[in-house]
Amino acid sequence: MADKTLFITGASSGIGAATARKAVASGWNVGLFARSEDKLAHLVNELGDAALALPGDATDYDALSAALDMLADKFGGVHAAFANAGRGTSQGGTEGGDVDDWQGMIDLNVMGLLKTTKAALPHLKKTKGHMVLTGSAAGRRHLSGSVYGATKWFVHGYGGNLAEEMKEWGGRCTVVAPGMVNTAFFDEPKPDKLQPDDVADAVMLALNASEVNDVREVFLMPRG
């Protein structure tokens, strides 16, 4: 995988940071996109010359496009992008939900993912590259009143459509769909659930697949 480059949103912590570490260990360069400049700087210091900090907001298309251009200039191209940034809601259900909270979540989980993909595709088209989207077990089953789950149903549906679009020019798209993951997404630690490294392993499984292997979805759940 020498000289291949991966762009990651939501890269400063959790699944994004774990994927960056796994990718660099596997020989990839990484572009780390997130709002937290301090956390990105710390991660780049850890990963070294294979990593580039790209501070920005995943709902800002211009920032995404500029970051991808900088990454391509730095490493000579972009071979994969991981639209990982996302969030939940502070209040569950439809009746008890907050409209403004929904709007912020949909802006990131849906529009942010679309903007990331649109910004990345011109680069990926040059390399016959790979788009990875963070889905969820919540996007594969119905959960009572879950608006968050509905945003992940969008990811799964769109991911399949995008895979069909990308295969027209030799690209690939994978949805990585974890169950509950022990990240800052939850207020309380979940040590018995999936860890960020488990999800990062699933991302790398898809990215490192052979040229004839089009991994459309990786679905992983905690045991028990």
Q: How many CB atoms lie within 10 A of CB 198?
A: 18
Phi/psi at 64 (nearest 5 deg)?
-65, -45
* Burial of 224 (C-beta count, 10 Å sphere; 0-12/13-18/19+): exposed
Which is nearest to 183 in space by CA: 134, 140, 125? 134
Q: Amino acid identity, residue 7? A: F
- Cα separation, 58 vs 81, whole angstroms: 13
61: annotated active-site residue? no
- Cα separation, 72 vs 57, whole angstroms: 19
Q: How many CB atoms lie within 10 A of CB 178?
A: 24
| 24, 148, 183, 195: the active-site residue | 148
Which sequence positions are flagged as catalytic? 148
